[in-house]
Structure 1
Amino acid sequence: MGALLMVVSSPAAEAALRYYPIAPDVRLNVRSGPGTTYRIVRVLSEGSHVPIFCQKAGQTVTGPYGTSNIWDGIGVSEYVSDTYIQTGSDGYIAPFCA
């Protein structure tokens, strides 16, 4: 059973929350864990933007923005490969997921 993502909300956290665009012309699978073997929980439509609450190492994936094993936690038990998110970095930009 996968770990749950805890999201704590406060006025300061809400104001600081940034949304990142997914790669152009991509419908992106959101997975229940950090890899393509995890079940798809939903699909993001083209032009979507996502918050990144935390990040976790997982399966290595190649996408429009390179090759990486970083997966972005965008909701409770919702992960997308960082290689499909335009963060402006090849490394971690958020805290590690629990």
Structure 2
Amino acid sequence: MVAGATSQASAALRTYPIAPGTVINVRSGPGTHFSIVRTLAAGSRVPIYCQCPGETVSGYYGTSKIWDNISNGQFVADAYVNTGSDGYVAPECS
């Protein structure tokens, strides 16, 4: 039964495309002053587990202070992620 629940949870997790033709820096916190953990290749898609306010960034999809948590301790600027919204699309990180 646990395996079925895991499969359903995984299927429900939506991923979002990053800006076309852009390599994105993944940071350890919600701002450009945080260290770069890794980079995402152009054409990547990311899950958004939660979102939080942080440094304002101007990117492909406008200017935003929202940062997307894509994994434990990994954040990308929402201005580079095509969420289809200027606001939050996931719960706020606690």
TM-score, structure 1 normalization:
0.88
Could you say which residue in structure 2 is the equivalent of 1:28? 24
Question: How many residues of Structure 1 are paired with residues of Structure 2 in the alignment?
Answer: 90
Could you say which residue in structure 2 is the equivalent of 1:92? 88
Could you say which residue in structure 2 is the equivalent of 1:51? 47
Q: Post-superposition shift, 1:12?
A: 2.9
Which 5+ residue runs of structure 1 have no aligned equivalent? Answer: 1-8
Over alpha carbons, which structure has the higher Rg? 2
Aligned AA (1:31): R
Cα distance in 2 between the residues matched to 1:12 and 1:92: 23
Runs of 4+ in structure 1 off by over 6 angstroms are none
Of 74, 78, 82 in structure 1, the residue corresponding to residue 74 of structure 2 is: 78
In percent, how many aligned pairs have the same letter? 59
TM-score, structure 2 normalization:
0.92
Could you say which residue in structure 1 is the equivalent of 2:61? 65
Which 5+ residue runs of structure 2 have no aligned equivalent? Answer: none
Question: RMSD over aligned Cα, in angstroms?
Answer: 1.1
